[in-house]
Structure 1
Amino acid sequence: MGFSIHGHWKRDVDAEKHLKRLHKTTPWIESPLEGADHEHLVFSQRHEANTLELFFDLFFVANLATFTTYHSITDTQYLYAYIGFFGILWSCWFQVTLHDVRFARDSIYERLCKTIQLIVFVGLALVGSGFNPGAVKADPKIFRVLCYTLVISRALLTVQHIIILLYVMAARYSKLYLPLSLMIGIYTLATICFGAMVPAFRSEKLTHTGVYVVWYIVSILEGVGIIVISCFWRMLSFKKTHLMERMSLLTLIVIGEGAIGVTKTVSRLMSKDGLDTEGCALVMCVILVLVLIWALYFDNFPHGHYGTIRQQIWSILHFPFQLAIVGVVEGSQQVALARYVLKNYEKIEKSIIEYCFDENLDGATLRDALSGLVEYWQFEKKIETYGYTEFLNEFVWAIGNTTDVCSPENTALYEDAGEWPMEFYNLTIGMFNAVYQGLGMKLPIDKLEKKDAAEIAIHSWKVVYIYYWISFCMLVACSVGFLFLIRRHRVDLFDFVSVISRLIALVIGFILIALVASDDALYGFLGSPGVLPACLSLLFLILFFDKLSAVFCNWRLKKSGKPYALEESPDHHHHHKKHAHESSEHGLNHQYSSHHSHHDSLALDHRKSAAWSVYSDREPLTGGDTSYYGGQESYVMSPMMSPPVPTPAQTTPEYMSVSTSQHYGA
């Protein structure tokens, strides 16, 4: 910032105003070797996710949200279908991510590949609406579409890795031939396996129900194979990639999908008078569970490199962890809805007992009271319960036309026998069904033909309770695994306290799962408002003891005066910004001191490499000189060529601060 000789104020942004800009262009295709780190002998295209990768992640959560909308977990069959579809969806995302973080560079070719991958996810969304492999009336067309979609996905990955191999062969990096060929073989076999499943779904009636397991077996073996290859050939590892950031972003997106579900739960719990006190408390519990899950993961997120193989295990462990997040979040909403239905059922039953047992109403008076109870719920205002008002009024009229149905003598007989007249039973169960279906629950028609909504609901709540607490236990167990995998320093009190608190939470979770052995204990606990607070309290106590032990360990370590390491440098981002600002100023000064001929040649070089501007210091890694290591020693990322002729160079000693930690842009 400054002033011109005429006294006019001049902005820094006007310094290049007299120049024409060099536009950004997108190359047709770029070699993945341009992002190779020759110092560490690994692929490292960038240190953070780009917008195209984030856009791709959104299609994952869109699929998950669509599948959740169309599938209410009412029994174990739907639960297995949910887990199976999540596994297929996650494996597709994971394989694409493993490729992108190591090899993908922005180009027309890469954008075309990403478009095909987005189409694949749209195909998965189409499949998700009707995906239920265990159903008797399952549509084979859905499964054929799924097979075609998976074939396209794996065939594209095969082509992408073939192109990578061609670039590697052109550069004569011989030690990469075998691992890349193995990866191509894995994706080719996966493509063949998925394609071979299509004939099993040709007929309208499924005859080979066991063929479904092929999807899951191939996905598991495929993922394990790619990870094992990256462990044996370290040049294909994820050491300098942004894989950790991608996994964390997907975790954040999965948690965010739960936030979408919370808004739906609020709308379902809203009565004509709005949310009551308990309804607000339940919604707040669900929100706090989301916040604590976020804190449980990101408060212990790794910074820096902590081991190549451990990083691979850490990434695979995200599948059960994210599946557990979905289970806890969706289960929390289902538990809140179960409490809402059971509470209203008690309210309906209490009103009927009051009319009949306490007030002993009869005839038209009893009929009017019961009609008012039915009209209170306004079933005709929801499409799911539109015909229930007329249906329930038939039972109301039948009760009103029964003489002395609620006389003191008859009510005493009902109490002694423990049974109500059939009209009262039908009215109570009918209102229960209406309240349950009014929540927008997607109930399968084949089940409604055999059972009423009340029976389906009671059974589904047992399933929900089981998978809810199993998901909680799996979430905590994965958290323990993360703590062991990312630890890089000496063990202290925090490590013991954090693991012990999680193990105690696991024990409590298993005890709560054991309640399913008694239906009375199970439905008594489900009918109470204590299920969500129990989960919330366990998560809170885990984080509380984490923070308490961390503060104590820090206080004791600083008091001891011993040297210590930081998980993440607090001024890392500050130095990064300062360095970028200084580089920008240096480039600007260099502009005015350079000769015009040099400026023209520089512009030509950067135009060929599709650079942003003539002042960019971007230089492809493959374009520089390759160091010669001498002797017979061979290096993976070094091309097989004769050593360069040494040239004298002026070197200036530089000094830099010593850091005990490494940052790899995770």
Structure 2
Amino acid sequence: MPRSSFLSFRTYSIRRQTRTGTLHDSPHIIPWLASPLDENNARSPRLRQRTDATPIELFYDVFLVANLATFSATHEINNITAVWSYVGFVGIIWFTWLQVTLFDIRFSRDSIFERICKVVQLSAMIGFASAGARFSTNIQDENVWAFKSLSILLSGSRVMLALQYTINLWLIHDKLTTAIKGMVAIIGVLSVTGISYLIMYLTFKPSEPHIWTIWFVLFLFESLVIIAVSNHTEGIELDDTHLTTRMGLLTLIIIGEHVISVTRIVNKMIAGGGWTFASLLHVMGVVATVYLLWHSYYDISPRKHYGKLRQQIWTHLHFPFHMCVILSSEACQILALALDISLKLRYLLETTNFACEEPRPAKGFALNLLNRTISDMEIDFTQSSHEELAIHNVIDGLWNQTNICSGNNPTQSSTYGIKEDQGRFLSGNVTVALFSSMGITLEDPHSTSSEGVQYVKLYLGLLAFVYVYYFVTVGLEMVHFAVFAWLTNRHPRVSYNVIAVGFRMICAMILISQIAFAKNFDLTYKYMTHPIILYTFSLTMLAVLLVDRLLDLLAKPSREVIRQSSTRSTAPMLSH
């Protein structure tokens, strides 16, 4: 049976029987409007229920992740301001996605009108991407247009949803009268927020750099009210919808963004010199984290009705959870690349020390080896031309020296083997070039690229910041897992649920407590330059999964006893 394309107004879903008794597909013209009511249940009208997402819903999810990927490509997380920029922009597209999803899971039916509305919503997502490149936490003269554009797009999105709800209210008002008041309330909320976003267009100016945060007040207002009204309005409840499926699919796609970071790591680490045991160990650490993250989430996904209030909490908690997944993904990528950089710098230090070890090699042999070591790093100097020049100047200076070592006595040799100032200058510029080659850059107007040591300190500060926010985000992810396990009643017995939730909270505290190491720089540096840092979160999730499996095994005997007792109680008594 042929499938209808998005732009086709004809489907082949109706099968009719000919006079000869054979079945054939009869074309069905897509209507201009389609009622969301279940046509097979005329006596008790209700909305049509679906258990799976439609292709157009999944297509809309892809646009959200495309926005996220575009924003990640133009924004680097190198300070707390960048973190809040991520939170702000992702909040805009996430809550817009939520409002569209709340409509689609109940009222979306294939029609020409719905397809036109979907084009408008997809266009809004494209508009978000265009403005995201200039989005930041502060409104300035050069980016005020981005905030105004976002405000117009938010207003248009909500007005379009209000129109969609209005059309569907007209389609169902005579058969589903119980839903009229709730639908009117939802239309009113979306109209108010749509007008509010439009009014905010006039308020954006550099003198009010943080006024855009009012958006989040409106986001929470509209989502909380619409979900609450829906759950307390007969006929449009969210209980029998596939909201859980939609949220789970979005989570899967966001975790898939984590997979993209793995491919980026492989491309940057492996493309030049091929696979090594160390690079394999680093990549497998990230892969294990991605897999166990997926496993940990779907292991506690709702599998039954768990109450309207719990559903509302579960839905809204996905925004901070998704933010933690996104931020930890970026941090994990930087940590993996930093491990690779530290390994290359270790090889460089060993080479410079080899040049001055007894018995000392010939100067030409030692310098050729040093030059080859730097060349084998496969550094892309397109982003660090000044560092490339500085490295060549150091090498040329060593060639012009009679003695390249720091002293005639090997016990007086410096940390670098070669002279202290040259070793520090060389390693500093190589470090900056490696970070730039990996796409990790800094913006510091007070330093020049010739000041290798100064830049090294800045990069070490960046790594310390990434270390802190990585363990904060993964710790918060574990907190979310604990709350999800409590909301969905992962285990059949209350005591087992308490153990599961408590163990997750303990693991969360252990993860967050890792930031205490940041006070000791030497300890933090050793931890960050060891592959175990990439396995810390994955090992924690593995421990949680093993505890859950143990509780499942302990619950099996009790289930069998309950099943046997219920069987005995219902069995007929035989008289002797």
| Partner residue, 1:353 | 353
Instruction: Indicate how the Cα distance of structure 1 residues 483 and 375 shifts in structure 2: closer, same or farther if over 3 A, else same.
Output: closer
TM alignment of 1:140-539, pairs within 5 A = 140-171=144-175, 173=177, 175-201=178-204, 206-270=206-270, 272-356=272-356, 367-379=367-379, 383-385=382-384, 388-409=387-408, 415=414, 421-441=420-440, 443-444=442-443, 454-487=456-489, 491-492=493-494, 494-539=496-541
Cα deviations across residues 300-342 of structure 1 (Å, max 9, x unaligned)?
A: 2222322222222222122122222223333322221121112
Instruction: Indicate how the Cα distance of structure 1 residues 194 and 443 shifts in structure 2: closer, same or farther if over 3 A, else same.
Output: farther
SS in 1 for 2:109: coil
Q: What amino acid sits opposite 1:540 in the alignment?
A: L
Instruction: Indicate how the Cα distance of structure 1 residues 21 and 457 shifts in structure 2: closer, same or farther if over 3 A, else same.
Output: same
The 2-side partners of 1:448 and 1:167 are apart by 65
Cα deviations across residues 167-191 of structure 1 (Å, max 9, x unaligned)?
A: 3545582x53433232222222222
Cα deviations across residues 252-280 of structure 1 (Å, max 9, x unaligned)?
A: 11111211221111111116331211211
The 1-side partners of 2:552 and 2:515 are apart by 31
TM-score (norm 1): 0.75
The offset of 1:125, in angstroms, is 1.6
- Residue 375 of structure 1 contacts residue 389 of structure 1 at CA under 8 Å; is this kept in 2? no
The 2-side partners of 1:513 and 1:378 are apart by 33
The offset of 1:415, in angstroms, is 4.5
- Residue 285 of structure 2 contacts residue 534 of structure 2 at CA under 8 Å; is this kept in 1? yes
Answer with 1 or 2: which has the greater Rg.
1
The offset of 1:200, in angstroms, is 4.2
The 1-side partners of 2:369 and 2:107 are apart by 72
| Partner residue, 1:6 | none
TM alignment of 1:474-623, pairs within 5 A = 474-487=476-489, 491-492=493-494, 494-559=496-561, 561-562=563-564
User: What runs of 5+ residues in structure 2 fail to find an aligned partner?
Assistant: 1-16, 568-576
Aligned-pair identity (%):
27
- Residue 96 of structure 1 contacts residue 157 of structure 1 at CA under 8 Å; is this kept in 2? yes
Moved more, 388-397 or 527-536: 388-397
- Residue 268 of structure 1 contacts residue 439 of structure 1 at CA under 8 Å; is this kept in 2? yes
Cα deviations across residues 134-165 of structure 1 (Å, max 9, x unaligned)?
A: 48785223222222221221121121222233
Q: Which of 1 and 2 has higher RCO (CA within 8 Å, sep 6+)?
A: 1
- Residue 38 of structure 2 contacts residue 45 of structure 2 at CA under 8 Å; is this kept in 1? no
The 2-side partners of 1:414 and 1:293 are apart by 48
SS in 1 for 2:193: helix
Q: What amino acid sits opposite 2:426 in the alignment?
A: L
The 1-side partners of 2:313 and 2:255 are apart by 21
- Of residues 77, 83, 86, the one that matches 2:87 is 83
User: What runs of 5+ residues in structure 1 fail to find an aligned partner?
Assistant: 1-12, 566-666
The offset of 1:460, in angstroms, is 2.2
Q: What amino acid sits opposite 2:229 in the alignment?
A: I
- Residue 341 of structure 1 contacts residue 435 of structure 1 at CA under 8 Å; is this kept in 2? yes
Instruction: Indicate how the Cα distance of structure 1 residues 35 and 525 shifts in structure 2: closer, same or farther if over 3 A, else same.
Output: farther
Q: Does 1:50 align with 2:54?
A: yes
The offset of 1:446, in angstroms, is 5.6
The offset of 1:521, in angstroms, is 2.3
The 1-side partners of 2:357 and 2:197 are apart by 64
Instruction: Indicate how the Cα distance of structure 1 residues 362 and 507 shifts in structure 2: closer, same or farther if over 3 A, else same.
Output: same
RMSD of equivalent CA atoms: 3.3
Q: What amino acid sits opposite 1:141 in the alignment?
A: W
TM alignment of 1:90-105, pairs within 5 A = 90-105=94-109
The 2-side partners of 1:244 and 1:188 are apart by 27
Q: What amino acid sits opposite 2:527 in the alignment?
A: F
Moved more, 95-104 or 413-422: 413-422
| Partner residue, 1:577 | none
The 2-side partners of 1:513 and 1:137 are apart by 37
- Residue 151 of structure 1 contacts residue 194 of structure 1 at CA under 8 Å; is this kept in 2? yes
Q: What amino acid sits opposite 2:197 in the alignment?
A: F
Instruction: Indicate how the Cα distance of structure 1 residues 30 and 68 shifts in structure 2: closer, same or farther if over 3 A, else same.
Output: same
The 1-side partners of 2:18 and 2:440 are apart by 61
Q: What amino acid sits opposite 1:428 in the alignment?
A: S
Instruction: Indicate how the Cα distance of structure 1 residues 137 and 376 shifts in structure 2: closer, same or farther if over 3 A, else same.
Output: farther
The 2-side partners of 1:480 and 1:38 are apart by 43
Q: What amino acid sits opposite 1:179 in the alignment?
A: G
SS in 1 for 2:439: coil
TM-score (norm 2): 0.86
> Number of residues paired by the alignment?
548
The offset of 1:518, in angstroms, is 2.4
The 2-side partners of 1:416 and 1:382 are apart by 26
The 2-side partners of 1:474 and 1:517 are apart by 21
Cα deviations across residues 18-53 of structure 1 (Å, max 9, x unaligned)?
A: 565421321101223447988998644423211111
Instruction: Indicate how the Cα distance of structure 1 residues 449 and 41 shifts in structure 2: closer, same or farther if over 3 A, else same.
Output: farther
SS in 2 for 1:209: coil
- Residue 269 of structure 2 contacts residue 337 of structure 2 at CA under 8 Å; is this kept in 1? yes
The 2-side partners of 1:149 and 1:410 are apart by 71
The 2-side partners of 1:359 and 1:306 are apart by 74
Cα deviations across residues 106-134 of structure 1 (Å, max 9, x unaligned)?
A: 11111111111111111112222332234
SS in 1 for 2:556: helix
